[in-house]
Amino acid sequence: MARGKSIAVGLAVVAALGLSACTTGSPTPQTADGARPAESKVVVEPADKATGVAPASPLKVSVSGGALGDIRLTGAGGKQLAGKLSDDKSTWTATEKPDFDAEYTFSGTATGADGKPLPVNSSFRTVKPRVPVTVSPRVTDGGTYGVAQPVWLVFPRPGVRAGERAAVEKAVTVETTPQTEGSWGWIDDENLVWRPKEYFQPGTRVTVRSGLRGVHFGNGSYGKNDYTVTFTIGRHQLVRADTDQHRLIVERDGKEFRNYPASYGRESDPKLVTKNGRYFIMSKHEQYFMKQFEFNAHWALRLSNNGEFIHANPDSVANQGRNNVSHGCANLSMKDAKDYYATALEGDPVVVTGSSIDLAAKGADFWAYPWDKWTALSAVKR
């Protein structure tokens, strides 16, 4: 009886094993510890038949528990986009962006953990932007600028929607040699600015790399262009504008370089006072017509978006070095203004002292912000 029972139990076990094999098909290979690995699976981003895909979106193929073979991402006319396979062959990522409003197909193969081939076959269509927007920094490739020069990106109206700001900010990098601490700040929907914590060191090389093409700005607007721009920081030249002593003193590399008599904004009117604070030269103009005053200013250097300049004004020469009589600008004689203009670079810092009112930290007066307030304007929280 005992022997008969053993035979019966053995037959039952065999029957059970046979039933299990029929249900699951061929057994899954086991790992060294006897565990069964997870089933291999190919995942493609974006999903098959996806539409409205932004060109800046991740485009990749990955496989779990296996290896990818030759992966191709092909557009119209058979053009293949470049890509990179990870060292462990588990992920292929496109390194080239697709065009707008175009059809693309992933193809290729992968090998599962069981050694069997897994097909890669998926397609998607990129978005057709309502408004393609060209954005570039307000610097010239190969140019030389002063030690306070920011990287300033201007987005045409309606600008960048608040929810898209972080993605836009991450798409542009600033590289400096030597390394310089800095941060992006949004002063409004249309202006994104990177400035260093302190002034640049003379000779610093700054490279701006934009990956904005295909990035969504909101309201159907997308970045149209990518670019790389490199500029250099020149000598350290700083202007000390002393409104109390009525002097404009130029320092180069820490030593007095020029010293001019000047007239500043009249103190009798708070709206016209030249305010204390840190400015920088935004732009240079041999002639600039000030429409509000019907005045053609010579040798004009813009200090703010509020209409403040350093410029020549023959009408205030008698007061230069003695009284402040202007509408807020720093006035020099024609000779002195031309002489200073020839020494100045965009990005040179200008520090105003001696006034009764301080410059507010707002708008395009980037250097008026204390560092903690400036970094708070970044959409990417660190």
DSSP-derived 3-state class of residue 229 = strand
Compute the distance between CA of residue 283 and CA of residue 301 in angstroms, rounded to an integer: 6
Please enumerate in sequence order all residues whose Cβ is within 8 A of that of 295, keeping only pairs 6 or more positions apart, or say none.
Answer: 289
End-to-end CA distance of the chain: 77
303 φ/ψ sector (left φ>0, alpha ψ -120 to 50, else beta) = alpha
Output the six-digit token pair for 370.
């204390």
Does residue 329 have an active-site annotation? yes
Output the six-digit token pair for 307.
């209409």
Q: Burial letters for 301-322: b for 16+ Cβ neighbours within 10 Å, e otherwise? A: bbbbeeebbbbbbeebbebbee
Name the catalytic one among 216, 246, 327, 329: 329
Instruction: State the DSSP H helix or E strand holding residue 53, giving kind and residue range, or none if neither.
Output: strand 50-53
Name the catalytic one among 216, 236, 246, 311: 311
The residues carrying an active-site annotation are 311, 329
